[in-house]
Amino acid sequence: MKAVHASIEYLKNMGVKHVFGIPAGSVNAFFDGLYDVPEITPIVTKHEGAAGYMAAAYAKYINGLSVCIGSSGPGGTNLVTGAANAMREHLPVLFITGAVPVSTMGLNASQELDADPIFKTVTKYSVTVTDSKNLLDEVVKATTIAISGVPGPVHIAMPIDVQQGMIDAEIPDVVQKTVIAPDLKVIQQTAKELVERKSGYIFVGQGARNSVDLLVELAELLQWPMVVTPQAKGLMQNDHPLFAGVFGFAGTEKASALINDGEVNTLLIIGSSLGETATNNYNTNLTKNRYTVQLDFDASVFNRKYEIDLPVLGDINLSLMYLVEELKSLGLTRKTAEPVEKDMNFAGGEEYNTKNVLAKLQEFLPPSTRYTIDIGEFMAYVIHNMKVHEPHTFDINVHFGAMGSGIGSAIGSKLAEPERPVVAITGDGSFFMHGMEILAAKENNLPILFVVLNNARLGMVYHGHTLQYKRSHSTFEQQPINISAMAAAMEIPSFRVDSMDDLNEESIQKLASLNGPALLEVALVDNNIPPMGDRVKFLSSFNK
């Protein structure tokens, strides 16, 4: 059989059900092979960059491998941003790029690019395969690396002649993913320290996304408040008595006060790399005068910026499972907690502004709705003001911060969990980057509501410059474009909102209950400073 067909067969056996990307000459053999494998559906996107975001979200919500593909040359370079995003989020995505025939390498062939060294900087493993007999082995090796240990993206460049080469090979058994088992002695030491210190805070990052039930059990055993990072918003329900709010970029006041002024001397960090947005610009108060324990599957996060007294290396789910059992053996039992003080600023008002629009929107949509959030000034309102009714209901890419990623994430999320309602919240700036992916949603009959907050400017940039330099370039603004009319031209149901009166339950539920995508345009210029927390103070401090 052809080498590429053997590789596709192996991917099918791994459970791959979708391949995200764009067909082209250098990957035609791969796409041709998909004709004979109905278990795998190609999701043809409008831009390879968006395909990378779709694949990343899909991998996140199936908790497994996804596949993304692009042509040699420009297709490959368009995928690099998606690979960097997946690397930042520790998501196992196989990025495949085509390549020119081996015999023409170095001869200025059409769309020639040595993609291997480019992807090496943003993946766990990158290789160019130059012999057909090695292709299947490299697919097995790369996918094993992607799902094992610290998950992450990998890349294989497949020259077109290598794909089509004939090989005589059996399809190997699928390699199961391996996880890092924690040291039980370290778990025992951790439990002992936590019990003896009696009071503390639990600081939750997105690395704990597959362990929500264990997190809640841990908090109820310890009776410690839980604070989440912006990236982890959506893991903890607002009505849990021990949930204290969001700390970091656009965090809540009560959570910030807890970290900055709280008197407890223990901090238990679970699944956070303690980056800039998670720590409010590396706020030293986070660990100051506190015995700090950090659970993570990535050893590189320990002592990176903050001194960690007790690092616990291992798969977070396993570590939490063992830690919970150890705490129980020391006599701790779950009990109803006294509610911690938290912000209750979720109710909307009548003024036509971003905060109130988001509150009204959430009021009309099911509590299980997952909101995939793009980059823009609205993101601060989402983090600060929107309520978490159920776990896993927010997908916020504040880490890598790629504009347009929320649009692709909505599609990947919907394919991973078809029964969950999905709403993408984006802005006009992000929409103009990757908004054409609503056609991909239409072509695959995906009922996603795309909400576009259209202020005819780069809002986050406008507010940043206004705070930092007391002025803003007029070119950050643009002539208003009717985005709902654009959707209508693509025969996608749409509705435009120009006031709070336009935002009614009937119109929202009608758009959200279709058999395909719909677009809600909110035409709104909100000159209020977004609730960015200490970021506002940081930007305002310039030129003083």
Task: Say which residues have a Cβ less than 8 Å from residue 438's Cβ, sequence separation at least 6.
Answer: 407, 450, 487, 490, 492, 517, 519
Find the mean pLDDT for residues 368-394: 94
Q: How many angstroms separate the CA atoms of 101 and 98, rounded?
A: 9
Please indicate, yes or no, whether residues 58 and 109 belong to a single structural domain of this protein: yes
Q: Which of 108, 134, 164 is the last residue of a domain?
A: 164
pLDDT value at 21 more than 70? yes
Displacement of CA 497 from its chain's centroid (Å) = 28
Of 312, 219, 325, nearest to 271 by C-alpha is 312
Q: Which residue is listed with tokens 């919240």? A: 425
Please indicate, yes or no, whether residues 376 and 308 belong to a single structural domain of this protein: no
The tokens for 139 are 């697919």
What is the per-residue burial (b if ≥16 Cβ within 10 Å, else e) of 32-46? bbbeeeeebebbbbb
CATH number for the domain harbouring residue 11 = 3.40.50.970
Instruction: Note whether residue 31 is domain-resident.
Output: yes
Q: What percent of the chain has pLDDT over 90?
A: 81
> Cα 69–70–76 angle (5° rounding)?
120
pLDDT value at 48 more than 70? yes
Q: Tell me the pairing of strands 518-523 and 370-373.
A: unpaired
Instruction: Note whether residue 417 is domain-resident.
Output: yes
pLDDT value at 499 more than 80? yes
> Is residue 357 a contact partner of residue 503, using CB atoms and an 8 Å limit?
yes
> Is residue 374 a contact partner of residue 425, using CB atoms and an 8 Å limit?
yes
Q: Which residue is listed with tokens 């043809």? A: 44
Number of other residues whose CB lies within 10 A of the CB of residue 202 = 24
pLDDT value at 428 more than 80? yes
Please indicate, yes or no, whether residues 500 and 467 belong to a single structural domain of this protein: yes
pLDDT value at 469 more than 80? no
pLDDT, position 346: 64
**Which domain range does residue 198 map to?**
184-329
How does the average pLDDT of the chain come out, rounded?
92
pLDDT, position 400: 84
The tokens for 197 are 């210190």
Q: Among 193-197, 355-359, 396-400, where is mean pLDDT lowest?
A: 396-400
Instruction: Say what the pTM is.
Output: 0.94
Q: Among 199-203, 213-217, 398-402, where is mean pLDDT lowest?
A: 398-402
Instruction: Note whether residue 172 is domain-resident.
Output: no
Q: Using DSSP, how many helices (H) and how many strands (E) does the chain show?
A: 20, 18
Q: Among 122-131, 171-180, 284-293, 528-537, where is mean pLDDT lowest?
A: 528-537
Find the mean pLDDT for residues 48-65: 97
Please indicate, yes or no, whether residues 157 and 259 belong to a single structural domain of this protein: no
Of 465, 495, 168, nearest to 364 by C-alpha is 495
Q: How many angstroms separate the CA atoms of 196 and 225, rounded?
A: 17
When pLDDT is cut at 50, 70 and 90, the band that residue 262 belongs to is confident
pLDDT, position 462: 60
Q: How many angstroms separate the CA atoms of 407 and 423, rounded?
A: 9
Q: What percent of the chain has pLDDT over 70?
A: 93
When pLDDT is cut at 50, 70 and 90, the band that residue 544 belongs to is low
